[in-house]
Structure 1
Amino acid sequence: MSTREQTDPGGWHVFHATGQVPGGPPPRLPEPPPWRQFRGGPSQPPPPDGEESALRRLGPGDVIRQLGSDETDIINAALLLRRPLLITGPPGIGKSTLAFLIGRELGLGRVLEWNIVSRTTLRDGLHTYDAMGRAQAIAAWRAGVREAAVAGLDDGADETGSISPAGRQQAPTLGEFVTLGPLGTALLPYDRPRVLLVDELDKSDIDLPNDLLHALENGSYEIPELVRDAAESARVHTSDPGGHAVVHNGRVECKEFPVVVITSNGEREFPAAFRRRCLPLELRPPNREQLLAMVESHLRMRPEGAERLVDDYLHRVRSGGTHSLDQLLNAVQLTTLGGFQAEADGSKLVETLLRDLAKGR
């Protein structure tokens, strides 16, 4: 252990919740424990930059520390142990934002988002196969070859009437119709971990958490369509815009286990087998100073009247209502515009912006 680690209780941290883009080389994660090492390869190119999405989530300014020391310890433990984070807390508190905070501070590139609904299956997250599209493409290819043969544009046919190999067009490959989902893309062999946001897992079918266990534990999966194909490798689409990857023998295995951020609004409990593979983190509502700092970070200023709206927002939250940070930012943005009179007719609009979401209107 280094001298700094002995004197600084946070010396083992690689994540400090600053949200600042690395000025030089991004922080390097320590080696994973032996039971969380994977051997996927060959290495994929670095992922695209995700700063545009991070700006929408975090704002352009420095991110004000909302996480306490206990929460930061849990996040760093998940990073070092290569375990998923299971984040709980009220809706709109910023659970999903944490994935973008980690990605920006550690320089891990674009966050892969997997938004869960009741119909979501594990296959949706791993890969999709467009069988109908492939059938149509093959039919169109065969029709084109026949037309070329008839028109004599393919160097003609031989004595048996077969189309000459020199004139044949390239047949559609199987990989053109396979697209890796967010989870499948995150498990590709990158040199540095990808960030995967699994948003609102508690809305899923009851079987999905258990179905996730194999992929999260083994860091690998197989694509049955490619396993059955005769080709040893296939170039497939990924979840990154315009992204592609080469899959060998139909099997994908990560090189660095991704940073998996799973959010839940607490609508139901997860199986014990799933929970033991995750590190739990419960986010608490921010206080007045943190809310004002967040407003200033997103709007690049502290508008006149922001304090009053923050106090109104906190009063509503403490009265037992369900509210989102987005509501506060919307109210501050609109009501601090020049010419807006919040005390007059605008009071009804403020009430609408800061309404209790639990009432369903």
Structure 2
Amino acid sequence: MGGTTPVDGRAWRVFHATGVAPDGPPRPLPEAPPWRRFRGEPALPPPPDDEAASLRRLGFVEAVTQLEEETIDVVNAALLLRRPLLVSGPPGVGKSTLAYLISRELGLGRVLEWNIVSRTSLRDGLYAHDALGRAQAIAAWRAGIEASVEFQGPDRDEEQSPPALGDFITLGALGTALLPYERPRVLLVDELDKSDIDLPNDLLHVLENGSYDVPELVRHTAETARVHTSDPGLHAVVRHGRVECREFPVVVITSNGEREFPAAFRRRCLPLEMRPPTRAQLLAMVHNHFRALPTDAEALVDLFTSRIASGGTHSLDQLLNAVQLTTEGAFQADDGGRRLIEMLLRDLSKGR
């Protein structure tokens, strides 16, 4: 049944790892600790949902716990303490999927994704200013004013307003997550270990204070500015160039363990190491995506788990692709079919 949560004797939990959306109004989160309360204004309405993205990540879930008890406890601690989760583990074990599991079960709306590469800077996550586009718009506006004076004379009745600065500022995923929503947004910071060495340190102030400034707006004469957000087609009002959250976002930071993070950064996060899914968890995931367990699914899950146990790098996507292939009516598990399955479930660490 939708909204059902298992009875596990842990009344302090608000997240049970079922991934089932609430039937009615989402359950409120407990009040934040005094040192993690913020005062962002003005309050924003709830964010939009993105059920299509959730379906791609989670499938049609049943009310069955999908994570280990220890993992669920760490997630709940992060939710209660308003601290980021630093999720480590090998590729393909479901680190980024955790953000979608939390968002759907707690009714927190569309997940904001910030995908990290070696060139990513803190500003990329906070906001972007299209300075060139604004300069071109101002030039076009001035040209229009001059043309109006020439054809209508200096005593014309109306004058077109100059382009608004906010029209050329778009908040990034991190910047949008820190807007003053009544309920926290879910922010996925994916593969932070791929970043430049300075980015984790640059994040410290933002993660601690739940706020940031947009210098272009701070210097601007207008008290407020209406800017674009990372949610398609939506805007937000920024006052005095400063953004501060009301509820600290649910931040899921993933790492494949390619490098260590500074101690000061790790101190602000709750560590969570995700292990490869068990056989039962894999069967549940396959069931969620296919709405039933296909005929050859158990044999493929057994093959997949044996590959994981033998070492190397494997991803859940490989298993789902293999199951999908075997569900095609004309597929034959002959020599050619077996070679295809072997190719799909290959060790990704070998590079071919």
The equivalent of 2:133 in structure 1 is 133
Q: Check the 8 A contact 2:18/2:66 in 1, yes or no.
A: no
Contact 2:217–2:241, Cα closer than 8 Å, also in 1: yes
1:70-219 map, 5 Å: 70-152=70-152, 156-158=153-155, 164=156, 166-219=157-210
Distance in 2 between the 1:186 and 1:338 partners?
Answer: 45
Other-structure match for 1:226: 217
Residue type of the alignment partner of 2:86: L
- Opposite residue 69 of structure 1, the aligned amino acid is E
TM-superposition CA deviations, 1:62-117 (whole Å, max 9, x none): 26423122111111110000000000111011000000000001000000000000
- 1:322 match: secondary structure: coil
Alignment of 1:320 with 2:308, yes or no, is no
1:192 is paired with a residue whose SS is coil
Q: Match for 2:258 among 267, 284, 288?
A: 267
Q: Give 3-state SS (helix, strand or coil) of 1:246's partner.
A: strand
The one-letter amino acid of 2:101's match is: L
Task: Report whether the alignment pairs 1:357 with 2:341.
Answer: no
Q: Give, as a single letter, the amino acid of the residue that structure 1 aligns with 2:37.
A: Q
- Taking the aligned partners of 1:28 and 1:66, their CA distance within structure 2 comes to 22
Distance 1:185 1:205 in 2: 22
**Structure 1 residue 325 displacement after superposition:** 0.2
One-letter amino acid matched to 2:51: E
What is the CA-CA distance between 1:8 and the residue it aligns to?
6.8
Contact 2:19 2:61 in 1 (8 A): no
- The alpha carbon displacement at 1:16 in A equals 0.6
2:11 is matched with: 11
Please list the CA deviations of residues 245-295 of structure 1 after superposition, one character each: whole Å capped at 9, or x if unmatched.
000000000000000000000000100000011001111111112111111
Larger radius of gyration: 1
Tell me, in whole angstroms, the C-alpha distance in 2 between the residues paired with 1:63 and 1:334. Answer: 27
Deviations 1:1-51 (A, max 9, x none): xxxxxx974100110111111001101011111100101111012111122
Q: Distance in 2 between matches of 1:151 and 1:345?
A: 76
Q: Does 1:345 align with 2:342?
A: no
Separation in structure 2 between the aligned mates of residue 251 and residue 86 of structure 1, nearest angstrom: 27
1:189-240 Cα shifts (integer Å, max 9, x gaps): 0000000000000000010001000000000000000000011110000000
Aligned to 1:294: 285
After superposition, give the CA deviation of every residue in 1:157-208 in whole Å (9 maximum; x if it has no partner): 14xxxxx4x3211210111111100000000000000000000000000100
SS at match of 2:335: coil
How many residues align? The count is: 346
Distance in structure 1 (CA, Å) of the matches to 2:173 and 2:16: 26
SS in 1 for 2:40: coil
Provide the rounded CA distance (Å) in 2 between the counterparts of 1:63 and 1:243: 33
In the aligned structure 2, how far is the partner of 1:81 from the partner of 1:136?
Answer: 46
Identity %: 71
TM-score under structure 2 normalisation? 0.96
Q: Shift in Å at residue 151 of structure 1?
A: 2.7
CA RMSD of aligned residues (A): 1.3
In structure 2, relative to structure 1, the CA distance for the partners of 1:326 and 1:18 (3 Å cut) is: same
Q: Bigger CA drift: 63-72 or 83-92?
A: 63-72
CA distance in 1, matches of 2:293, 2:138: 60
Q: Contact 1:129/1:177 (CA < 8 Å) preserved in 2?
A: yes
Aligned: 1:43 with 2:40: no
1:30 aligns with 2:21: no
Which consecutive residues of structure 2, in runs of 5 or more, have no partner in the other structure?
Answer: 1-6
The answer to whether the Cα contact below 8 Å between 1:89 and 1:284 also exists between their aligned partners in 2 is: yes
Q: 1:352 corresponds to which letter in structure 2?
A: M
8 Å Cα contact 1:66-1:286 kept in structure 2: no
Would you say the 8 A contact 1:63–1:297 is kept in 2? no
- Given that 1:21 and 1:107 are in contact with CA atoms closer than 8 Å, whether structure 2 keeps it comes out as yes
